[in-house]
Structure 1
Amino acid sequence: MPAIYKEALRPISERVSDLLSRMTAEEKFAQMHAYWLILSSDGNHRERTDLSDEFAGVTEQAGLTERLKLGIGQITRPLGTHIVDAKEGVRAANRLQKTLVEETRLGIPALFHEECLVGLLCKDATLYPSSLNYGSTWDVDLIERAAAAIGNEARSTGCHQGLAPVLDVSRDVRWGRTEETFGEDPWLVGMMATHYVKGLQGRNRDLLATLKHYVGHSFSEGARNHAPVHLGFCELNDTFLLPFEMAVKLANAGSVMPAYHDIDNQPGHSDEFLLTTLLREQWGFDGLIVADYGGVSLLHQHHGISHDAAESAALAFNAGLDVELPKDDCARHLGQAVERGLITMAKVDEIVARVLKEKFRLGLFEHPYRDENGVALQTESTKQIAREVATRSITMLENDGTLPLKGPLRVAVIGPTADDPLALLSGYSFPVHLIISDMLEQTSQVVTPLEALRECLGSDNVSYAKGCHIIEKRMAGAPVFPGDSGGKPMQSSPVSNDVSLIPDAVKIAQQSDVVVLCVGDLSGLFQSGTVGEGSDTDSLVLPGVQQQLLDELIQTGKPVVVVMTGGRPYNLGGQEDKVAALLMAWAPGQEGGHAIADVLTGRAEPGGRLVVSIPKSAGAMPYYYNHKLKSGGTPFAFHFGSRYPFGFGKTWTEFDYSPLQFSQENVAIDDGIVSVSITVRNSGTVAGSEVVQLYVHDKVASMVRPIQELKAFQRVHLEPGASAQLTFSVPTDMLNFTRRNGDRVVEPGEFEVRIGASSGDIRSAGVIRVSGDTRVIAGKWRMVSHCEVSTSDSYIA
């Protein structure tokens, strides 16, 4: 008679209980961590060791074969760690899984995880646009489709958990990881994240999405990587926890990853209130909490709240952690922690039960292997979705009528990002993430703006000059430990100051009818680039000598169309009024060149809208549209504010708005709906789409509230002269905020409802009264607004 845990028809709880009763302490500890291996199909696996291990705090160990006999919780990035053909990678992963299933005492399979924020991070997978592009589409259904496509590629390679999405709410664009965020509005981030999770996980949650970085990571001191976060719980809950709560409650997210920083001196990896009380007990989260890479060892190495690895492991696991990633630097000392009384075996059993439950639920015991012939990457459908996201996200900030490009033109394509495939990718794409290797050969599927424009306009009509470099040679080696407390001295900036290429670019511009100048930054981890994880900045000036290149091109008198790509917005040194047009394309992925060319030539409209405000200067940072009234100082500082605010984006046409109308001007606080209608008309001569945005301002509250907050939006596409009536329904629950005692409440009173084309372009406003007694919001509450569109002359885009 087989063991109960091997009987597939038994209830999962019985299988977990039976297996747990058979496990030794060491076998239990093994389920609480991962191994980061270079896998081989011949079974000669080896541990990954390179410079990045210095950051993760891991050390090479001997006897991998012996340690694998105990089993393992997870395998870290089997295909995303090195350059390996996906089919061979699956074959190697199957070989390791065979060892675990057939050659260990209990036969417990491993769970494989990969990065998948902008596509599966492995060789030949589709390279999607960045999260800023996702957000800039203002299209949650499109992002759900993109995430579903990413999930399908991941499943085909045997991946069980994806380390995405990022729910950090942007506060300061100097932060290198801004490129990984959906934007600066917490509710929009929550909506995008919820749909990303739904798409990635599928209906059966057979691939775990991982919400990160829990929580407040993006509001770090000085916008520096890992820096402390200074937040009280009210703001933490209203701004930074909200997206996580939405993704847990609305999308049943399967995993959560704590962040590296500390909040008010409490590191995220040891915060029992956030990991257990709030996440599990109050929100009902039932998945796995996995450490950010090396995050447990940083409790003693950086934060200094424990003496050694055993104590760090005890702190993290007692707080609520389930699995240490990427290795077992601290978890391998759990036996010592138990002996010292730092953690109990009862707590270990509780954690291991959760890990085993998820493995049973995912079907790993019945289906531990993946068909190597079933790998499906880079299909026509995935490329089409990537192109659609890239195109729909491109945001036009300026246009004097030069765009779209018409007629036979001599076009000079200039700039360091015009023909660099890596410039279109963000930090968690495969070629950029492994930048220490020669990855240009891995970018053959990337279409650059130069290539796409030559295809659209004809090679004879397009000339090219690089103009300048951003970084002449991409290198790793920046110290990732603190540089002023015993770590390595900081390296010098890799950014190029070479101006020798500018004269040739000016000459080519003078021979053209119009200049398309491609500028921006290069994503790269830990200062191997100018944006990305560990690549923070102190300035919003274009990196290197790109501003000088722009200035000299403008002096030629030729119309200069600026296309900015990258992971954060930059200023143009006051030249915004002098350029012919300005497009934000962010990091548009492998199809980005096609998307840019389609918008430049009018084959597609610039449908994107900003999800991060572009501050006037670095001195305005941190800046975000939903700030408090007093944020700008008294009097308001000259440098405060944004030329291009949240929600902004021009199109080929213009739209008129009617005065808004409420269905009723007094709404009950308990179960009320704020219902408001407005008519939008395309007053231009060409078809186009508008993203109609609804903001709310709480006029008088018991706590200080932001000047306005996004509560609803809807995109409509209208033919010239056509109009559409939009009726928004906003539940009164969404008018809540957090009081000092930690409760979310809705207070009665007056709320100003504002509808417009952006946070800075409000077209109509009105006041509605919410009546009743103050209500505490708890458990499941109404988090989502809706919009109905009625007209025969429009369609929802």
Structure 2
Amino acid sequence: MSYTNPNLPAEERAEHLLGLMTLEEKAGQLIQPFGWQAYEHRDGKMTLTESFKEKVAGGGVGSLYGMLRADPWTGVTLATGLSPREGAEAVNTLQRYVLEHSRLGIPVLIGEECSHGHMAIGATVFPVPLSLGSSWNVELYREVCRAVALETRSQGGAVTYSPVLDVVRDPRWGRTEECFGEDAYLISEMAVAAVEGLQGESLQSGGSVGATLKHFVGYGSSEGGRNAGPVHMGWRELLEVDLLPFKKAVEAGAVSIMPAYNEIDGVPCTTNTELLEDILREAWGFEGLIITDCGAIEMLASGHDVAEDGMDAAVQSLEAGIDMEMSGEMYGKYLVDAVREGKLDPALLDRAVRRVLTLKFRLGLFEQPFADPDAAERVIGSKAHQELARQVAGESIILLKNEAGVLPLSKTAGTIAVIGPNADAGYNQLGDYTSPQPPAKVATVLSGIRSKLAAEPERVLYAPGCRIKGDSREGFEAALACAEQADTVVMVVGGSSARDFGEGSIDLKTGASKVTENAWNDMDCGEGIDRVSLTLSGVQLELIQQVHQLGKPVIVVYINGRPVSEPWIDEHVHAILEAWYPGQEGGHAVADILFGDVNPSGKLTVSVPKHVGQLPVYYNGKRSRGKRYLEADSQPQYPFGFGLSYTEFTYSGLKVEPEVIAAGETAIVSVDVQNTGGREGAEVVQLYISDVASKVTRPARELKAFDKIKLAPGEKQTVLFTVGPEQLQYIGPDLRPVVEPGAFKVLVGKHVNDTLSTDLTVRG
């Protein structure tokens, strides 16, 4: 028996290797320093830093975080970063050094951020998860995850810190863009697709990476929508809503979990043994790796204040079930001393190391620790992946309003003014967790529209008008003059999650890029950027209002990471597209929708309130939440599941067979959907369940199934759903799943507030 024998089970190999390790070597496997600090890249040459070499000599480095990552936080730029080939070669240089200069030759686990594409220079930037969820196309998202895994693994990344499975409860939260939406069932479907897509059929494949589910758990329900704030949630809601996507993803085979920063009922997730041991390990049978978010252990002593000092925080975390620490600061400083001083049971240290080693064996790192530079150069940012990014962006864009059929636009007549701070700002449409990209790689809305009218460039006019933030109106005059010359105005507004990449600013009078000593930062969304409002930042609304006074048809395109609540826009402009952050091909996708080359089929996965004072406004609140406010009702401006098309869909013939079932039986729901318009289009058929009476209060209705279908004009299709215990159960008085006898409503339709209804009875 030897850990070098690839024919032995991973668990046996890990056990043998564990028995050969020193205390320092064991502790080294549990730390994950920042990978970009492990090398220097100058004049086209990559060299390992002395500090990294010292860590290897002092007991080893189990993992590196974001070795290939580039962004302002890391300080890695287009000039100093690594190309796809260079990144793969850098990983190989590092792995070779570790294998040659460590006693046992344990390869390093490279963990990378891949929320919507590998966060490395040159990688394909797909739409953000909020956009991906809006496609309601699970199979297409699985393809996206396969592409992301292929690009990441080809460069040497073996684990990704995605998918984000947080359930959004307050969209003021800056990380709303990283989530799929407000519904646990929809998130669960995307979660399973992510795990299957990222991990593939074999973790050892050159196109697979281990998925890390985050943030476990309740992170999207923080107090006041503030990042990492306390969560006030009972066990029933936790089990029924926030834990559901994680459970489904664990059942799908996810190999890694990342606890959230927040506390729940006073207990930080980092040390919550009920979550990490009782539920995750024992109830669900999870055997994979648990890794902290960056700085989470330190927060226990400075933030949550449940630990006396760093050593106490490290010991508490390991005892609670944390296997690896991102950043490695606390584990690296204290674990060895904690064992030697009798403050930490060495068996618990072994438990964590065993899990790390097992995952490395499962990933095939001992047999193939090296990246493939040729493959990296070939697949990263490939044409096929660009086309996939454009397709999924097109399926995710939501048509919220289309008064008098102003859309689609004509390709043969009319002048179009493209105005707004997001019209030609590439980084603003990429979202957070994005690396610097060459400007030519990103198609903005302006360039997308210009490409449609390339033969007549004079038909497209442009002016930025204003910035995302700030009160400068110096660009208004040029924007109004531009709009005055046009037949139609496309206003591209919204938000920005772009961190300061040193790209400078935009001249508001000419629209030209300019580099200033202090680059303007328009960031009003993203991690750590929470808001008290959902209105447009700066003077964007004022710009739209002044353009509207010209009497031209005005189309608003939102590019943003959270819902926008602007009643004036909803009432006055002629058409509205919600594009979220649509990724590098987003400009082409928006243009495809504007000109009718793609029929919009995206649907909202978050409810859009009329006013921030309505929050929380998520669709599946309890029946007892109240009816209205003094100033307004409690209904959102645009409900969950809403989205228009350039064609019309008619629903009929809803029925359930049989109409009466036992608690463990299933029924078939069928409904006829017909395209009664003049264009081919795709429709998301949505099924909701309403429990008429229950021993525990329930939401009025809950999404339990959906199917995205494509229909030609006049075509009719019968859509079938199965309804059984999984769709009818809830967490009962004893905190266990139960299907109660009684009456249920089965609702099927276009969105949560536009459905047909029929009855289903569960007999006692």
Name the TM-score, length of structure 2 as normaliser: 0.92
Given candidates 409, 415, 429, the residue that maps to 1:424 is 429
List per-residue Cα deviations over 1:386-439 (Å, max 9, x = no partner): 0011000011010011100024111000000000001111101213xxxxxxxx
Given candidates 457, 460, 469, the residue that maps to 1:459 is 457
Contact 2:161 2:211 in 1 (8 A): yes
Q: 1:180-579 counterparts in 2 under 5 A?
A: 180-206=178-204, 207-249=209-251, 251-375=252-376, 376-400=379-403, 401-406=405-410, 407-431=412-436, 442-457=438-453, 458-470=456-468, 495-524=469-498, 529-579=523-573
Instruction: Say which SS state the counterpart of residue 727 (structure 1) adopts.
Output: strand
Contact 2:441 2:584 in 1 (8 A): yes
2:461, 2:47 → 1: CA distance?
51
1:14, 1:190 → 2: CA distance?
33
Contact 2:417 2:488 in 1 (8 A): yes
* 2:19 partner amino acid: S
List per-residue Cα deviations over 1:715-760 (Å, max 9, x = no partner): 2222222211112112222222223533122212111111110011
Contact 2:565 2:612 in 1 (8 A): no
Contact 1:690 1:716 in 2 (8 A): yes
C-alpha change, 1:88 and 1:716, in structure 2 (3 Å) is closer
Instruction: Say which SS state the counterpart of residue 325 (structure 2) adopts.
Output: coil
C-alpha change, 1:282 and 1:579, in structure 2 (3 Å) is same
Cα displacement (A) at 1:686: 2.4
1:443, 1:114 → 2: CA distance?
23
Contact 1:132 1:586 in 2 (8 A): yes
List per-residue Cα deviations over 1:296-339 (Å, max 9, x = no partner): 11111111000111111111111111100023333430123224
> Where does the alignment leave 5 or more consecutive residues of structure 1 unmatched?
48-61, 432-440, 471-494, 773-797
Contact 2:38 2:52 in 1 (8 A): no
Q: How large is the Cα RMSD of the aligned pairs? A: 1.8
1:641, 1:285 → 2: CA distance?
40
Choose 268-277 or 569-578, whichever is displaced more: 569-578
1:541, 1:533 → 2: CA distance?
18
* 1:108 partner amino acid: I
Contact 1:33 1:323 in 2 (8 A): yes
* 2:267 partner amino acid: Q
Cα displacement (A) at 1:203: 0.9
Contact 1:528 1:535 in 2 (8 A): no
Contact 1:541 1:573 in 2 (8 A): no
Contact 1:525 1:534 in 2 (8 A): no
> Where does the alignment leave 5 or more consecutive residues of structure 2 unmatched?
71-75, 501-520
Instruction: Say which SS state the counterpart of residue 5 (structure 1) adopts.
Output: coil
Aligned length: 720
1:240, 1:122 → 2: CA distance?
30
Contact 2:174 2:529 in 1 (8 A): yes
Q: Residue 145 of structure 2 aligns with which residue?
A: 147
C-alpha change, 1:746 and 1:68, in structure 2 (3 Å) is farther
Cα displacement (A) at 1:277: 1.3
Q: Residue 54 of structure 2 aligns with which residue?
A: 65
* 2:475 partner amino acid: L
* 1:271 partner amino acid: N
Contact 1:619 1:639 in 2 (8 A): no
Given candidates 632, 638, 659, the residue that maps to 1:638 is 632
Q: Residue 699 of structure 1 aligns with which residue?
A: 692
Given candidates 748, 759, 762, the residue that maps to 1:767 is 759
C-alpha change, 1:349 and 1:263, in structure 2 (3 Å) is same
* 1:368 partner amino acid: P
Instruction: Say which SS state the counterpart of residue 4 (structure 1) adopts.
Output: coil
1:186, 1:273 → 2: CA distance?
21
1:381, 1:620 → 2: CA distance?
43
C-alpha change, 1:152 and 1:553, in structure 2 (3 Å) is same
Instruction: Say which SS state the counterpart of residue 152 (structure 2) adopts.
Output: helix
Q: 1:622-637 counterparts in 2 under 5 A?
A: 622-632=616-626
Instruction: Say which SS state the counterpart of residue 95 (structure 1) adopts.
Output: helix
Given candidates 108, 111, 125, the residue that maps to 1:110 is 108
1:727 and 2:720 correspond: yes
Q: Residue 63 of structure 2 aligns with which residue?
A: 74
1:70, 1:723 → 2: CA distance?
66
Contact 1:151 1:201 in 2 (8 A): yes
List per-residue Cα deviations over 1:681-713 (Å, max 9, x = no partner): 222222222211110111111111011100111
* 1:195 partner amino acid: A
1:703, 1:730 → 2: CA distance?
21
Choose 651-660 or 525-534, whichever is displaced more: 525-534
* 1:389 partner amino acid: V
* 2:191 partner amino acid: A
1:122, 1:240 → 2: CA distance?
30
Cα displacement (A) at 1:94: 1.6
2:125, 2:311 → 1: CA distance?
40
* 2:95 partner amino acid: Q
Q: Residue 690 of structure 1 aligns with which residue?
A: 683
C-alpha change, 1:766 and 1:347, in structure 2 (3 Å) is same
Name the TM-score, length of structure 1 as normaliser: 0.88
Cα displacement (A) at 1:40: 4.4
List per-residue Cα deviations over 1:189-247 (Å, max 9, x = no partner): 01011101111111113410110011010110000011100001101111100000011
Contact 2:30 2:328 in 1 (8 A): no
Q: Residue 34 of structure 1 aligns with which residue?
A: 32
2:55, 2:595 → 1: CA distance?
61
* 1:597 partner amino acid: A
Q: Residue 650 of structure 1 aligns with which residue?
A: 644
Choose 517-526 or 206-215, whichever is displaced more: 517-526
Cα displacement (A) at 1:21: 1.2
2:96, 2:141 → 1: CA distance?
36
Q: Residue 10 of structure 2 aligns with which residue?
A: 12
Cα displacement (A) at 1:273: 1.1
Q: Residue 747 of structure 2 aligns with which residue?
A: 754
Cα displacement (A) at 1:513: 0.5
C-alpha change, 1:14 and 1:712, in structure 2 (3 Å) is closer
Cα displacement (A) at 1:561: 0.5
Contact 1:310 1:331 in 2 (8 A): no
2:731, 2:708 → 1: CA distance?
30
List per-residue Cα deviations over 1:452-487 (Å, max 9, x = no partner): 1111123110000101011xxxxxxxxxxxxxxxxx
Contact 1:174 1:539 in 2 (8 A): yes
* 1:94 partner amino acid: N
Contact 2:649 2:674 in 1 (8 A): yes
Contact 1:659 1:765 in 2 (8 A): no
Contact 1:697 1:753 in 2 (8 A): yes
Cα displacement (A) at 1:635: 6.5
2:745, 2:470 → 1: CA distance?
49
